[in-house]
């Protein structure tokens, strides 16, 4: 992660100092990086999208321009659960992030290397870039939550951000996911260099 000249938006009051809880996990999105098979995870090369400073770790969550409305729907202060296929192609949950920017930017700050639009997010929790230090989806309560179809197997088209439906077991699922991210939470002591 690197400190660079990109200007990160101010952290909104609703996020600054907030103690997040399992019930804040309300959205899910796939991320994909065909070069490194570890999108938005250290070292995130060749993109260098992770920005670390005294306030935390940030990046501009990118998506296909056709689906910007889905990311704009996520309120600041709610958590997006990110998943991806890591280097061994295992589907893993890798991040909990919350938007800090008001809207999707037309061009990401990394437009030369990674041209899609994006929205600034703060990392609340982040796993490693290997399956062994991430959270395999099939080891969580996700398959047992009562989802059907594309929400069950997370096979819907990439780039959309989807609201996690309340299928009756949402609170249990949120607690399970949040608990699994506990060892990966970004805390103040980790944020300060």
Does residue 108 form part of some domain? yes
Q: How confident is the model at residue 158 (pLDDT cuts 50, 70, 90)?
A: low
- pTM summary value: 0.91
Cα distances (angstroms) measured from residue 130 to each of 18, 54, 114, 142, 176: 29, 26, 22, 20, 20
Check which CATH number belongs to the domain holding 66 and give it.
3.10.590
pLDDT at 2 over 60: no
Q: What is the pLDDT of residue 163?
A: 95
Does residue 190 form part of some domain? no
Does residue 17 form part of some domain? no
Our count of domains for the chain comes to: 1
What residues make up the domain containing 98?
22-185
Q: What is the pLDDT of residue 65?
A: 86
Q: What is the pLDDT of residue 44?
A: 77
Task: Identify whether the C-beta of residue 115 lies closer than 8 Å to the C-beta of residue 62.
Answer: no
Q: How confident is the model at residue 190 (pLDDT cuts 50, 70, 90)?
A: very low
pLDDT at 135 over 60: yes
Does residue 135 form part of some domain? yes
pLDDT at 145 over 50: yes
Does residue 3 form part of some domain? no
Q: What is the pLDDT of residue 89?
A: 85
Q: How far apart are CA 70 and CA 7, in angstroms?
A: 24
pLDDT at 155 over 60: yes
**Most confident residue range from 27-36, 105-114, 116-125, 153-162:** 116-125
Does residue 16 form part of some domain? no
Q: How confident is the model at residue 122 (pLDDT cuts 50, 70, 90)?
A: very high
DSSP labels, 117-140: -EEEEEEEEE--SSGGGSEEGGGS
Q: How confident is the model at residue 3 (pLDDT cuts 50, 70, 90)?
A: very low
Does residue 156 form part of some domain? yes
Residue (of 64, 91, 88, 93) closest to 157 by Cα position: 64
What number is the average pLDDT over the span 15-36?
90
Does residue 8 form part of some domain? no
Q: What is the pLDDT of residue 192?
A: 40
Give residue-wise pLDDT tens across range 44-96.
777 788 999 889 999 999 988 888 899 999 999 999 999 999 877 899 999 99
């Amino acid at each position: 992660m690197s400190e660079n000249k990109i200007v990160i938006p101010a952290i909104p009051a609703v996020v600054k100092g907030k103690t997040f809880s399992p019930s804040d996990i309300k959205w899910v999105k796939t991320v994909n990086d065909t070069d490194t098979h570890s999108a938005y995870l250290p070292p995130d090369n060749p993109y260098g999208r992770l920005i670390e400073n005294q306030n935390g770790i940030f990046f501009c969550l990118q998506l296909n321009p056709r689906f910007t409305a889905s990311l704009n729907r996520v309120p600041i202060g709610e958590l997006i659960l990110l998943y991806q296929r890591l280097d061994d192609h295992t589907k893993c949950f890798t991040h909990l992030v919350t938007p800090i920017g008001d809207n999707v930017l037309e061009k990401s700050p990394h437009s030369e290397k990674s041209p899609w639009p994006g929205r600034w997010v703060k990392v609340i929790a982040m796993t490693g870039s290997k399956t062994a230090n991430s959270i395999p989806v099939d080891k969580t309560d996700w398959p047992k939550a009562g989802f059907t179809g594309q929400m069950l197997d997370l096979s819907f088209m990439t780039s959309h951000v989807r609201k996690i439906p309340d299928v009756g077991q949402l609170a249990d699922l949120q607690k399970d996911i949040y608990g699994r991210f506990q060892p990966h939470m970004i805390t103040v002591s980790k944020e300060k260099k």
